[in-house]
């Protein structure tokens, strides 16, 4: 078995983020780390976050820092990773890629305790950087320039200290004095020697300053002082002319200002009034905002509260003295992994869980009624420092501008066929606490509806035109009907006009712009040329002929008349449209198209003509051999639509060379059988080559040119819309998640700079592409608590489609109170308020609008669930209608029960009834894992899948973490025990059990009479059920310990698994052993067989091993497109979704194996990690081709592409076609 791994959706979680000007001096950009992915984000003019660049580094990003050399115009990026190398990257704006500037090896690869990479700090003046390990080692690199102004770095200077754990590192801003770095350290040397443990309890953290002497070129420990043992973060205070220098130490419940030879300035962090007394307040994210004459800090606590921290200081002698530290409550947003303040007044919030957000500052926290604590009012009592309390409130200083969807953490994933859907929908349970959701992921790019307007009658075509080519926005929308043409003027409002010069009494076949300032209208009886001075020139069709098809660009118009005659017009320098030539074709013309005029040229060279004799011809438009045939391509059936897409128009030679695919001229052919052909046209000879095929839908595709990201793109309208565009040198054809469209054109206005105007039935719609590049668009349904597992219900009896849309989600949260009562009380208060308003007949339109806006985020979502004591659980079971994305039924669990897992099942004693089993645990605590007991709840599905009815509860004596239906019974995994239950009248009846499993059961799958058990530490176990003896026994297991998190039975002998370290493995029982097991119905031979190393008598073979890089939490198998191949889909905790496609031929395996090998050699990962070593992090990679690496071939330079192609005895276009074909098999 050989598999091709391809990421369908990159990880959406955020690990860390830094702000910088990476592409230019005034560019406001954010560099985000998503574990193993580096992504550059930039807010556009409308405040929407756009992904400028994203790349896989094939390594683990541990820390990021931005710096700028003195006098430079843009920032560099320093990356701390698992490569054992100090990496400095620079963003190349022209090539749209990150380039490695420096790559200095300092240690072993991997995330190790004493190898630097975990912490990173850069001198504010860009002179040096410190990279530190969790323990012992710290290295300092000095930055410099060579004679060509290129960045250089020195050899590393050591600042090691043995037996020391590091908690945080920060640079101290000391102007242009010697660079200083601060570190929070803990010396454990005494604790190591003391066996009683007293020294460990008395161990003290220290704040240490390390000074880099630039003259002597070495690092010294300058100053050290004990610091609060709750200290966890350091924040640089501006120095030199900007501030007093020093650092802020963020500790539990306190913020302390520290500086050498300066008294500590301490202030207590305000805490929520309802927070239990035993819970402290820790800072988890921070950012600095520098204004013209002042600065302030934003700190976020683990509960999501943001505080504004300011320093009052004055100059005394040669230094600045801080007199007061103030901490003021600012706002509350969801807890973040990183926050960044942009100089344009935005705050980027990279959420720890859930969607990321971009906020705009509405104020800087100057309100007098905000709660504030100060070092000057700090009061010490017998119990400690007196706390300051506040109540969180709705946003006041921040306003939400944009959200980036994130499905991190992904808890569960299944591929589901919903009623009325052509393809499988990926249903995910994701999020944490009140921000949890069930999300439906459908393949395709989402469209945002800007306007919908009904039209009189049924329109058949629409175009947009500008009055002048210099205009930024379109002037007219022209709509054609069966017997008329409607012209709409675009301004502040869209309204009908009659003085445009267009003929309104006839249908239009084509409307466009000619030259700089004239317009063209083609209709069945001729051609109308409208000059800028409103003069109109008419060309009438000869005899009884009519115009059937039209193609045009800014300088050329081609008409196809009835009878197969082609008439070619061209615009002269004087602005006059003249007839150049005619040609009789052999039959009627089905479609035709002409490419845009290349920049600097007078005309386009080629005309594409599709005929009903199943051919497409390329004709020359060169004056020397006008309308002569250059090339012919036979197609399977009659062409419906043609579009020549020249994506190299307007690009520089350098860009065109970097992206050979992007600089090509392609002819797109839509056939009447729903197939799209994409053929390359030689720019010199017009010959056709390299045809690529894609089935789009049941309807014949209509092709239209549009603009995406400033580049030409293709819109294909079949049974669903598709968008074809170039991204990172690769042509991408993605479905659009929108209803059926009949005709479309590009659209540009002040409110919608880059949109599409389209016809859907009898309405006119203006839409825009929201987030290009996303593989899925999401529909979400809010949940109450963190989802643990979900299961789809079988279709209800009598269902015509044979599909179900109902699913049951079990949810549980630790350490928080139940929100059910709060939600019910709020709903009741809202109803009472509404009834009161109605009785008083108060006009409350404005208040109602405000309420509707606030409904977007509930108080629980913004402020978090009510905090409770440790050991307290809140849990519920909800039934969700996935088709409508609504919760149809909720069951709140009491008695401190927490629902852990769920499955649908059937029992022979209740034939034809749909049942749901839910495993719960009572009083669960961790470290060690203990519980007072648990229950198996059995529910009957009622109301056609919309609700549940409790049958009975069965007490359990352990923690049940996995349940599975098996031969009209129920198999339950509890700790080390695998137990089988059957249905009883008052509870489930225990039938048999197996107690010999090693540590802790995490997954249970069943197929036939075999049960596949995944263990927490000891991988897979194959268990067989002997019905006659009513017993279970293990007959095979794995030879390698694996921490299984999810498993999926592929067939009777094969199981795919994912583990918590990010590996995917496919294990198979050898067929001869499987036959032996089946031939021994009593299991006597197996039980008597000698076990190996205290394990099962037989061992599994690992067919496939692959390191994904993120913890795999879900596996499912499905076809992602109609008629596509079945793939193995996996979901990771960071929100990444990937697919593994089995190869069908040895030839394909060899090709991609060699391509992967050459890509490893010619395109080394960005941060210096060896690709094969990364994919073999824990186990050697086996029989998996890394499609993410292979697809980077499209982004290589043309020279490098040719070099690799020559090694493979192929052409670059053949390799790109292979990559495109295999992607189409997956999605």
Residue 1219: enclosing H or E segment and its boundaries? helix 1212-1226
Q: What is the pLDDT of residue 610?
A: 94
Q: Pick the more confident residue, 758 or 446.
A: 758
pLDDT single digits (tens) 118-168: 999 999 999 999 999 999 999 999 999 988 888 999 999 999 999 999 999
Q: Looking at the DSSP assignment, which residues form a beta bridge with residue 468?
A: none
In 763-914, DSSP assigns E strands to 763-769, 776-782, 787-792, 806-814, 873-881, 886-893, 897-905
CB 38 within 8 A of CB 91: no
Residue with tokens 């004239």: 518
Q: Six-digit token pair at 619?
A: 């004709």
Give the pLDDT score at 271: 94
The residues with which 1149 forms a beta bridge, in sequence order, are none
Please, what's the b/e burial string for 977-1014 (b: 16 or more CB within 10 A of its CB; e: otherwise)? bbbbbbbeeebbeebbebeebbebbbbbbbeeebbbbb
* pLDDT in the model for residue 840: 54
Residue-level pLDDT at 845: 47
| pLDDT band at residue 175 under the 50/70/90 scheme | confident
Cβ proximity of 501 and 530 under 8 Å:
yes
pLDDT of residue 1168: 92
- Indicate the DSSP class of residue 859: H
Residue 411 phi, psi (nearest 5): -95, -30
Q: In what order do the strands lie in the sheet with 372-374?
A: 283-290, 295-301, 305-316, 319-332, 372-374
Instruction: Note the pLDDT of residue 855.
Output: 46
Residue 1091's pLDDT band, with cuts at 50, 70 and 90, is: low
Token pair for 74: 């843009």
- Asked whether residue 2 carries a pLDDT value surpassing 50, the answer given is yes
Residue 887 CB contacts under 8 Å (≥ 6 apart), including other chains: 781, 782, 783, 878, 879, 880, 881
Segment 711-733 shows an average pLDDT of 86
pLDDT winner (highest mean) among 8-17, 466-475, 772-781: 8-17
* Dist. CA 273–CA 863, nearest whole Å: 13
Which range (496-500, 825-829, 1019-1023, 1215-1219) has the least confidence? Answer: 825-829
pLDDT recorded at residue 837: 58
Residue 90 confidence (pLDDT) above 90: yes
pTM above 0.85, yes or no: yes
Which residues have C-beta within 8 Å of that of residue 858, sequence separation ≥ 6? Answer: 434, 823, 826
Q: 7 CB contacts (<8 Å, ≥6 apart)?
A: 56, 1136, 1137, 1138, 1187, 1188
Cα–Cα distance measured from residue 238 to residue 288, given in angstroms and rounded to the nearest whole number: 9
Give the residue from 367, 347, 329, 361 showing the smallest Cα distance to 863. Answer: 329
pLDDT digits (tens, 9 = 90+) for 761-802: 889 999 988 777 788 888 999 999 999 999 999 888 777 777
Looking only at the bridges linking them, the beta strands covering 372-374 and 410-416 are unpaired
More confident residue, 846 or 1188: 1188
**CA distance linking residue 53 with residue 41, whole number of Å:** 7
Q: Where do we find the tokens 């069951």?
A: 891
The mean-pLDDT minimum among 417-421, 933-937, 1013-1017, 1212-1216 falls in 417-421
Cβ distance 11 to 1108 under 8 Å? Answer: no
> Residue 1133: pLDDT band by 50, 70, 90 thresholds?
very high
Q: What is the mean pLDDT of the chain?
A: 89
Q: Cβ distance 180 to 209 under 8 Å?
A: yes
Instruction: Dump pLDDT digits (tens) for 364-374.
Output: 988 888 999 99
Q: Find, among 648, 700, 709, 707, the residue nearest to 670 by Cα.
A: 700
Give the count of alpha carbons within 13 A of 1148, CB side only: 18
pLDDT class of 663 with cuts at 50, 70, 90:
low
The pLDDT of residue 1181: 96
Residue 1027, pLDDT above cutoff 90: no
- Report the distance separating Cα 899 and Cα 888, nearest Å: 19
Flag whether pLDDT at 1050 surpasses 90. Answer: yes
Side-chain-side CA neighbours of residue 356 (13 Å): 29
Of 300-304, 448-452, 913-917, the one with minimum mean pLDDT is 448-452
Q: How far is CA 630 from CA 639, 680, 681, in A?
A: 19, 14, 11
Nearest Cα to Cα of residue 429 among 337, 356, 354: 354
At 1225, is the secondary structure helix, strand, or coil? Answer: helix
Q: Which of 171, 167, 215, 214 is nearest to 67 (CA)?
A: 171
Cβ(108)–Cβ(84) below 8 Å? yes
Rounded CA-CA distance 231/433 in Å is 27
> How do strand 389-390 and strand 271-272 relate by DSSP bridges?
parallel
> What does the pLDDT read at residue 854?
40
The count of residues in the chain is: 1227
Question: Which residues are CB-contacts of 263 (< 8 A; sequence separation ≥ 6)?
Answer: none
| % of the chain residues with pLDDT over 90 | 63
Say if CB 123 and CB 144 are below 8 A apart: no
Q: Torsion angle of alpha carbons 1042, 1043, 1049, 1053, nearest 10°?
A: 20
Token digits of residue 714: 């293709």
Please give the structure tokens belonging to residue 109: 């690869």
Nearest in space to 503 (alpha carbons), one of 484, 517, 489: 484
CA distances from 695 to 420, 822, 958 (A): 20, 51, 53
Give the burial class of 266: count Cβ atoms within 10 A of its Cβ; 0-12 exposed, 13-18 middle, 19 or more buried. middle
851 pLDDT higher than 60: no
């Amino acid at each position: 078995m050989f598999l091709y791994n391809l990421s369908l959706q990159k990880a959406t979680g955020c690990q860390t983020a830094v702000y910088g000007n990476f592409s230019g001096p005034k560019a406001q950009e954010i560099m985000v780390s998503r574990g193993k992915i580096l992504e550059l984000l930039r807010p556009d003019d409308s405040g929407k976050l756009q992904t400028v660049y994203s790349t896989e580094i094939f390594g683990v990003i541990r820390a990021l820092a931005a710096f700028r050399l003195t006098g430079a115009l843009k920032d560099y990026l320093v990356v701390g990773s698992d490569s054992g190398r100090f990496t400095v990257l620079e963003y190349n704006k022209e090539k749209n890629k990150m380039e490695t500037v420096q790559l200095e090896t300092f240690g072993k690869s991997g995330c190790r305790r004493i190898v630097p990479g975990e912490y990173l700090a850069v001198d504010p003046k860009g002179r040096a950087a410190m990279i530190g390990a969790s323990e012992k080692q710290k290295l300092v690199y000095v930055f410099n320039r060579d004679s060509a102004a290129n960045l250089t770095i020195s050899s590393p200077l050591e600042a090691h200290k043995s037996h020391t754990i590091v908690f945080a590192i920060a640079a101290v801003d000391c102007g242009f004095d010697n660079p200083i770095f601060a570190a929070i350290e803990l010396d454990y040397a005494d604790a190591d020697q003391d066996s009683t443990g007293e020294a460990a309890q008395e161990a003290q953290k220290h704040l240490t300053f390390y000074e880099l002497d630039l003259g002597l070129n070495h690092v010294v420990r300058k100053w050290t002082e004990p610091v609060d043992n709750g200290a966890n973060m350091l924040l640089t205070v501006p120095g030199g002319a900007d501030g007093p220098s020093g650092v802020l130490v963020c500790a539990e419940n306190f913020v302390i200002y520290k500086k050498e030879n300066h008294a500590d300035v301490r202030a207590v962090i305000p805490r929520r009034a309802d927070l239990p007394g035993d819970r402290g307040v820790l800072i988890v994210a921070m950012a600095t905002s520098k204004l013209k004459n002042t600065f302030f800090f934003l700190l976020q606590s683990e509960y999501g509260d943001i505080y504004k921290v300011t320093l009052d200081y004055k100059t005394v002698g040669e230094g600045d003295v801080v007199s007061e530290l103030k901490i003021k409550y600012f706002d509350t947003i969801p807890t973040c992994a990183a926050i960044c303040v942009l100089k344009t007044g935005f705050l980027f919030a990279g959420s720890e869980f859930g969607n990321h957000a971009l906020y705009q500052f509405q104020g800087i926290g100057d309100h007098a009624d905000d709660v504030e604590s100060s070092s000057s009012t700090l009061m010490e009592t017998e119990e400690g420092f007196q706390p300051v309390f506040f109540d969180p409130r709705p946003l006041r200083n921040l306003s939400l501008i944009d959200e980036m969807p994130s499905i991190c953490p992904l808890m569960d994933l299944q591929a589901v066929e919903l009623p009325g859907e052509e393809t499988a929908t990926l249903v995910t349970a994701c999020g944490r606490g009140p921000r949890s959701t069930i999300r439906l992921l459908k393949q395709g790019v989402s469209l945002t509806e800007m306007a919908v307007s009904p039209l009189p009658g049924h329109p058949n075509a629409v175009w947009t035109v500008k009055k002048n080519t210099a205009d930024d926005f379109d002037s007219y929308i022209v709509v054609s009907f069966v017997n008329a043409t409607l012209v709409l003027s675009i301004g502040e409002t869209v309204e009908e006009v009659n003085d445009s010069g267009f003929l309104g009494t006839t249908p239009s076949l084509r409307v466009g712009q000619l030259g700089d300032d004239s317009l063209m209208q083609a209709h069945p009886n001729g051609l109308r040329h409208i000059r800028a001075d409103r003069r109109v020139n008419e060309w009438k069709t000869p005899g009884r002929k009519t115009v059937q098809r039209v193609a045009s660009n800014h300088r050329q118009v081609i008409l196809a008349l009835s009878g197969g005659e082609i008439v070619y017009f061209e615009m002269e320098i004087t602005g006059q449209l003249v007839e150049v030539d005619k040609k009789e074709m052999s039959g009627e013309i089905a479609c035709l198209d002409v490419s845009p005029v290349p920049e600097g040229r007078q005309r386009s060279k080629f005309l594409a003509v599709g005929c009903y004799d199943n051919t497409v011809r390329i004709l020359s438009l060169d004056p020397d051999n006008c309308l002569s045939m250059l090339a012919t391509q036979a197609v399977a059936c009659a062409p419906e639509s043609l579009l020549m897409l020249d994506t190299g128009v307007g690009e520089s030679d350098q860009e065109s060379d970097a992206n050979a695919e992007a600089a090509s001229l392609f002819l797109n052919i839509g056939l009447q059988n729903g197939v799209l052909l994409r053929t390359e046209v030689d720019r010199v000879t017009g010959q056709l080559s390299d045809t690529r095929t894609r089935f789009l839908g049941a309807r014949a595709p209509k092709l239209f040119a549009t603009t995406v990201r400033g580049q030409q793109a293709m819109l294909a309208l079949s049974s669903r819309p598709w968008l074809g565009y170039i991204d990172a040198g690769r042509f991408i054809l993605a479905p659009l998640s929108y209803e059926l469209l009949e005709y479309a054109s590009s659209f540009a206005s002040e409110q919608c700079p880059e949109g599409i105007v389209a016809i859907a039935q009898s309405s006119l719609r203006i839409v825009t592409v929201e987030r290009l590049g996303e593989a899925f668009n999401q529909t979400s349904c809010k949940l109450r608590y963190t989802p643990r597992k979900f299961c789809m219900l079988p279709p209800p009896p009598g269902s015509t489609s044979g599909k179900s849309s109902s699913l049951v989600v079990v949810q549980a949260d630790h350490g928080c109170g139940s929100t059910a009562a709060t939600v019910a009380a709020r709903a009741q208060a809202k109803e009472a308020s509404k009834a009161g308003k109605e009785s008083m007949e108060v006009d409350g339109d404005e208040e109602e609008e405000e309420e509707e806006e606030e409904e977007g985020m509930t108080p629980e979502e913004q402020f978090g669930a009510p905090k409770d004591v440790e050991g307290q659980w809140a849990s519920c079971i909800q039934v969700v209608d996935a088709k409508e994305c609504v919760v149809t039924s909720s069951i709140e669990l009491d008695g401190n029960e927490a629902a852990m897992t769920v499955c649908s099942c059937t029992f022979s004693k209740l034939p034809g009834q749909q049942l749901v089993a839910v495993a719960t645990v009572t009083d669960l605590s961790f470290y060690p894992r203990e519980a007072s007991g648990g229950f198996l709840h059995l529910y009957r599905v009622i109301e056609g899948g919309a609700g549940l009815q409790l049958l009975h509860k069965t007490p359990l004596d352990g923690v049940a973490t996995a349940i599975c239906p098996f031969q009209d019974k129920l198999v339950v995994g509890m700790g080390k025990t695998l137990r089988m239950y059957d249905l009883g009248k008052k509870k489930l009846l225990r039938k048999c059990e197996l107690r010999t499993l090693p540590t802790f059961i995490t997954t249970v799958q069943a197929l036939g009479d075999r049960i596949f058990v995944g263990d927490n530490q000891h991988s897979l176990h194959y268990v067989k059920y002997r019905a006659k003896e009513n017993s279970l026994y293990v007959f095979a297991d794995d030879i390698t310990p694996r921490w299984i998190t999810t498993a999926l039975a592929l067939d009777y002998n094969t199981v795919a698994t994912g583990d918590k370290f990010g590996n995917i493995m496919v294990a198979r029982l050898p067929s001869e052993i499987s036959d032996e097991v089946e031939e021994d119905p009593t299991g006597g031979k197996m039980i008597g067989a000698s076990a190996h190393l205290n394990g099962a008598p037989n061992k599994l073979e690992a067919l496939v091993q692959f390191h994904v890089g993120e913890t795999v939490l879900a596996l499912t198998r499905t076809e992602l497109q109609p008629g596509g191949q079945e793939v193995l889909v996996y979901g990771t905790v960071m929100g990444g979704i990937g697919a593994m496609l089995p190869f069908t031929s040895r030839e394909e395996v060899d090709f991609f194996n060699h391509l992967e090998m050459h890509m490893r050699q010619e395109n080394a990962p960005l941060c210096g990690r060896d690709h094969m070593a990364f994919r073999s992090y824990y186990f050697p990679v086996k029989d998996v081709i890394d499609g993410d690496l292979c697809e980077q071939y499209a982004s290589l330079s043309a020279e490098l592409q040719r070099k690799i192609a020559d090694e493979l005895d192929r052409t670059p276009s053949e390799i790109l076609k292979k990559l495109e074909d295999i992607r189409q098999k997956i999605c």
